[in-house]
């Protein structure tokens, strides 16, 4: 999509200045942006993919704590595990301020887990950026979406560029992503905390919060 409004033109320029993810965010995402699996065999022997600890578990609750390190893991039956070939996917996002604009960047993280002691393989790619001005103007730069029935159907090769369509999809992914705790907010949102934003539909919540502040003025 071609930039038409002055705001869109400004965002197209700012979009070029965005840096790659700091390493500490990547380290955090590998731990907290994925539901780590514990794979259960038919005899209920369940192996934690993160530490290799084996436990006997026959319960129906899927979200449990690994006894070894207290990490939250999700029970996956071995049949399912084979079907997904050990691949798990998650979304995470960061909140930053660039040039007075509130920016939410949303990423996909994929992990191929191994139960035999090999290192897990992680892949991270950025999907979308929501740019929100203190006046409430919104522009989205993102990967293009492919036609398809799946919600997050993005081509392997693509550029983060200004998008005029699919806002609902980009909003959905941002709202359902795990938010990196070290957040930066523009001054009109400075009273909000990480806990306010987290889990409330971060993008739509932030837009509502800005609209509210502007209404008060
Ligand atoms: Zn474990």
What ipTM does this complex have? Answer: 0.98
Look at phi and psi of residue 70 and say left if phi exceeds 0, alpha if psi is from -120 to 50, else beta: left
Of 101, 108, 192, 86, residue with least CA distance to 152: 108
Tell me how far the alpha carbon of residue 135 lies from the centroid of ligand 1, in angstroms: 46
The domain tally of the chain equals 2
Q: Are residues 148 and 211 in the same domain?
A: yes
Pairwise CA distance, residues 98 & 140, whole Å: 14
State the distance from the centre of ligand 1 to the C-alpha of 35, rounded, in angstroms. Answer: 12
Do 128 and 210 belong together in one domain?
Answer: yes
For residue range 95-153, list pLDDT tens digits in order: 999 999 999 999 999 999 999 889 999 999 999 999 999 999 999 999 988 766 566 67
Cα of 55 to ligand 1 centre, how many Å? Answer: 10
- Averaged pLDDT of the chain: 92
CA of 20 to the centre of ligand 1 (A): 31
Are 45 and 133 found together in one domain?
A: no
Rounded to 5°, the CA angle 137-143-145 comes to 105
Residue 153 belongs to domain spanning = 6-32+87-216
Residues 110 and 185 in one domain: yes
List Cα–Cα distances, 122 to 58, 100, 108, 211, in angstroms.
Answer: 30, 33, 10, 38
> Looking at the structure, do residues 79 and 97 belong to the same domain, yes or no?
no
Q: Would you say residue 216 has pLDDT above 90?
A: no
| Pair 43, 119 in one domain | no
pLDDT, tens digit, 9 for 90 and up, residues 157-172: 789 999 988 888 999 9
Q: Are residues 72 and 147 in the same domain?
A: no
The rounded distance, in Å, linking the Cα atoms of 80 and 88 is 11
Q: pLDDT (tens digit, 9 = 90+) per residue, 138-148?
A: 999 999 887 66
* Within-domain flag for 14: yes
């Amino acid at each position: 999509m071609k930039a038409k409004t002055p705001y869109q033109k400004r965002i197209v320029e700012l979009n070029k200045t965005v840096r790659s993810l700091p390493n500490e965010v990547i380290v955090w995402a590998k731990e907290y942006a994925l539901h780590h699996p514990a794979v259960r065999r038919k005899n209920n022997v369940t192996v934690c993919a993160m530490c290799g600890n084996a436990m006997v578990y026959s319960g129906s609750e899927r979200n449990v704590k690994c006894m070894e390190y207290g990490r939250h893991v999700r029970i996956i039956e071995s049949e399912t595990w084979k079907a997904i070939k050990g691949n798990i996917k998650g979304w995470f996002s960061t909140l930053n301020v660039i040039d007075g604009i509130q920016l939410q960047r949303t990423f996909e993280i994929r992990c191929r887990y191994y139960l035999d002691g090999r290192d897990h393989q992680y892949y991270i790619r950025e999907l979308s950026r929501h740019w929100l001005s203190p006046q409430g103007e919104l522009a989205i730069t993102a990967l293009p979406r492919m036609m398809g029935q799946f919600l997050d159907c993005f081509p392997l090769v693509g550029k983060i560029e200004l998008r005029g369509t699919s806002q609902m999809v980009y909003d959905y992914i941002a709202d359902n992503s795990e938010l990196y705790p070290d957040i930066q907010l523009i001054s009109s949102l400075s009273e909000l905390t990480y806990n306010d934003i987290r889990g409330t539909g971060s993008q739509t919540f932030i837009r509502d919060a800005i609209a509210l502040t502007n209404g008060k003025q």
